[in-house]
Structure 1
Amino acid sequence: MKTGCFLLLVVYLLNIFTTTNSKRIPTLVSTQRLQRYIQKNPNPTRKVRIIETSFNPNATNNYTTEYAQGHIPQAVYYDLNKCVTSTPEIPRNLPELKCITDYMQSLGVWPDTYVVVYARFSVVQAFRTWWIFRLFGHKLVSVLDGGLQKWIADGYKTSTSIPLVDRSAFEGKLDRSLFRSFEDMVANAVTNKEQVIDARPPNSPWVSGKTSESGVIPGAKMVTFTTLLNADETMKNKPKIKTIFEDNGVNLTLPMVTYCNSGMTATVIAGAAHVLGLDIPIYYGSWNEWSRRAPENLKQRVIA
């Protein structure tokens, strides 16, 4: 698609899915706006792809059965575990580039397709997919605020129809600015170039437990991901997000990086920062890797 046509499409989609004149792709889309779009466009098109991304780490079907029994109309299913090779240090590893490119092509995600991702139960899974898509070069992506539960609570219908979509010509490209490796974090422990934000609850056994595997990266600011969400798992508004970050010692004018146990809940921190207009990287190996590889002087023990 030519650049001029692409920009016109972006403006068109932003007019549908946002309430402001900003040209920035919104982090979140409301259920009301998605429903309005589906009403006006009852059949899937290349312009918009709705994606369910629920998964159960303890199940083999990854919610495909539940997806088939009922999902948001036009939604296709994305498996977060696909293209990922787990290791003991990094169970939630990054997808392999060639595989994720092929997978996104099979989902009909073109370079100019606006993607709306949602999860069935935990919004964390939607934010992880949001981050993965952006990490591999697809910035036209938003999270459905509140996910499927909010959709149903608002009285909107689900569908059992599994849409057929044309294969795309998407080409993935890893955006190095959106993630940090173990080596990056070790270097940062010396330079302190980036503030480190821990997304986990302080009372988590992985944070304040009595085992050798618990602790935090020294100097980390504790911003529990759940504090950024309302009871219905919609994201809190900008002023509240800003206050939560600042009350926990985060300087929003300085660089930062976030982590959690396995690179999942940290994506909510990244999403909240994006609501504020910030792009922050995620240490994708997170504490699971850090606790196994970092020297003891780079592990801070926490007493609950």
Structure 2
Amino acid sequence: MGENKVNVLFSDLDGTLVHYPKEFLHYADIIEEVAATDNTPETATIRYHETNESRTCVVLSSMTGGKAYLSLRTNELISTLRDMDVLFVIITGARSSTYVGRRDYLPEADYEFFENGGRKIAEGKLDATWSDQFKEQVGEIADRTSLSPDMPPPEQRQGTLWGLYKELLDDGWKLDGRKYTTNFRVDVAKSEGKHTRDLNAIVETKCAPLSLASSYNLGKADLYPAQSGKANAARHILQLRQIDSKDAVALFDDDNDIELGSLCGRGFLPGVTHDSVLEALKKHPEWRVSKRMGFLGTEEALEKIIELRCAALKDMETNAVGSHV
């Protein structure tokens, strides 16, 4: 495959840059919390049991997931990569309202995709035209200026995605379409009398004819337009910025990231949160799972990516000098 120049880093959020207490409280404690003020976010200090290493984190909220934690050190490392002319792209499954609520405290990014690639921000501004390509699936998004527009209830919307939503709702599935514009979520565990195999059968028979796709995120199934998805968002950026996929790096952890990880020349996983990722690891020797957990695992991955970028820059400098000899 050759050396990766690390020209772009595509990163997931939940379980990758951002971590939840349900994940980290078995190896770390929250030892100090500082309430938010008018000018500063809520912060917390996390300390690891075995090593006593600690990290100061910004505390982020979500509609359903409770508090999430992002270490300041993670933000610093990403800033270092951007200073080294690495394009940084966030691609997350988060719903619009959750992403907008967190955005001020996330690492600065060149491009941002949320709702599994259904919504796009380019250089700080909403790109409403990006979502236009999904009109057949999600209907018209009337407000073209808001990152989290007010929408009718999912069952009242137009498009093949919402038609399937209504069908699943009538069939007794536990669904969540709140504050989503191009995606909805299925909670199989809370769908009485339903099983993962039942949903998989629906996905296999109904999604493709409706130009829809599905993947698992945070233990729940997301359904969205087939033209969106994390890998398609990444392909768009690679084409737009004329970057070879072998010079791209993915930072990820979950089932909905597998195609993205497969697209890129290298993959780094701070952790693994779905069995499908464990299976995919067997086929991808270019993927590396961090030895450490949580925040330290994220930092380990980012530090390795920085090392790769330093080596690539050195090689490019050497080659440039050699070409003039």
TM-score by length of 2: 0.27
TM-score by length of 1: 0.28
**Larger strand proportion of the pair:** 2
